[in-house]
């Protein structure tokens, strides 16, 4: 479980010599095994929040707790996957996995789960955009983190590839049973992937609305055409 308690964060605008408030007494609770999406307008502090949760940025005040333990620095229990290509092009798929794990059984398990086993000897430049994203996810999973943070990971993919990888991600996440925080500006993506969507307000940022996604996701290829899906997309858009 991840808990943010009374997070406040400020930064100084040097050119104007003013202090800007990003968060004031912000609270968030994410249960074990949940997939939660954060959506909000540009500049509302989504990436700042990611950096605070990951331990890259210390909040001005307040605390982050992972399963009751205070987060004070980056750790293997929290892995970040973002939109920037983070693979080593001179290493094969398998070698990229070996960078973070020496357990061949685990490596093979997650390469199989992400359907990359037959590409173990390929180099990242030989993979499609979607396959690279699957490799980044496999590499995150093999570390066995408690929490995966995905910050706009599909921005570089075209619409068709993005849609396909959303379906693949949903399948992989179900199998891995990991807790995931997904940051996106894409409402459809948030509704498709999440158990819960958190709509953020403008600065100083608070939770404007929390929407639970309760419809069945057993048939991923037809979710986007359902009345529930279309209704929730519209509802979130109106709230933003």
What CA–CA distance (Å, rounded) separates 137 from 115? 11
pTM of the entire structure?
A: 0.84
| Paired sense of beta strands 207-212 and 69-70, if any | unpaired
Q: Is residue 94 part of a domain?
A: no
Q: Is residue 135 part of a domain?
A: no
| Total domains, the chain | 1
Kindly report the CATH number assigned to the domain that includes residue 62: 3.40.50.300
What CA–CA distance (Å, rounded) separates 119 from 111? 9
Q: Is residue 19 part of a domain?
A: yes
Asked whether the beta carbons of 133 and 54 are under 8 A apart, the reply is no
Q: Is residue 119 part of a domain?
A: no
Residue-number span of the structural domain to which 181 is assigned:
2-77+145-239
Q: Is residue 102 part of a domain?
A: no
Which residues fall within 8 angstroms of residue 112, CB to CB, at 6 or more apart? none
Mean pLDDT by 10 residues, the chain (240 residues): 93 76 93 92 87 93 93 90 84 95 93 92 91 88 89 76 79 82 91 92 91 77 83 88
Q: Is residue 87 part of a domain?
A: no
Q: Is residue 121 part of a domain?
A: no
């Amino acid at each position: 479980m991840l808990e943010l308690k009374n997070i406040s964060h400020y930064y100084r605008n040097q050119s104007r010599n003013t202090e800007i408030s990003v968060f004031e007494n912000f609270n968030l609770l994410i249960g074990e095994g949940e997939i939660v999406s954060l959506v909000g307008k540009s500049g509302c502090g989504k990436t700042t929040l990611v950096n605070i949760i990951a331990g890259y940025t210390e909040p001005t005040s307040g605390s982050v707790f992972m399963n009751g333990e205070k987060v004070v620095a980056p750790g293997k229990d929290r892995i970040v996957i973002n939109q920037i290509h983070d693979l080593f092009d001179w290493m094969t798929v398998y070698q990229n996995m070996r960078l973070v794990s020496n357990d061949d059984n685990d490596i093979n398990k997650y390469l199989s789960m992400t359907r990359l086993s037959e590409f173990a000897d390929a180099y990242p430049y030989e993979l499609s955009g979607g396959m690279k994203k699957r490799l980044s996810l496999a590499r995150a999973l093999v570390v066995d983190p408690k929490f995966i943070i995905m910050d706009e990971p599909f921005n570089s993919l075209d619409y068709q590839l993005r849609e396909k990888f959303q379906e693949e991600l949903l399948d992989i996440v179900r199998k891995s049973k990991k807790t995931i925080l997904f940051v996106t500006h894409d409402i459809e993506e948030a509704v498709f992937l999440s158990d819960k969507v958190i709509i953020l307000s403008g600065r100083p940022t608070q939770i404007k609305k929390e929407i639970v996604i309760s419809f069945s996701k057993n048939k991923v290829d037809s979710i986007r055409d359902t009345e529930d899906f279309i209704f929730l997309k519209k509802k979130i858009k109106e709230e933003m």
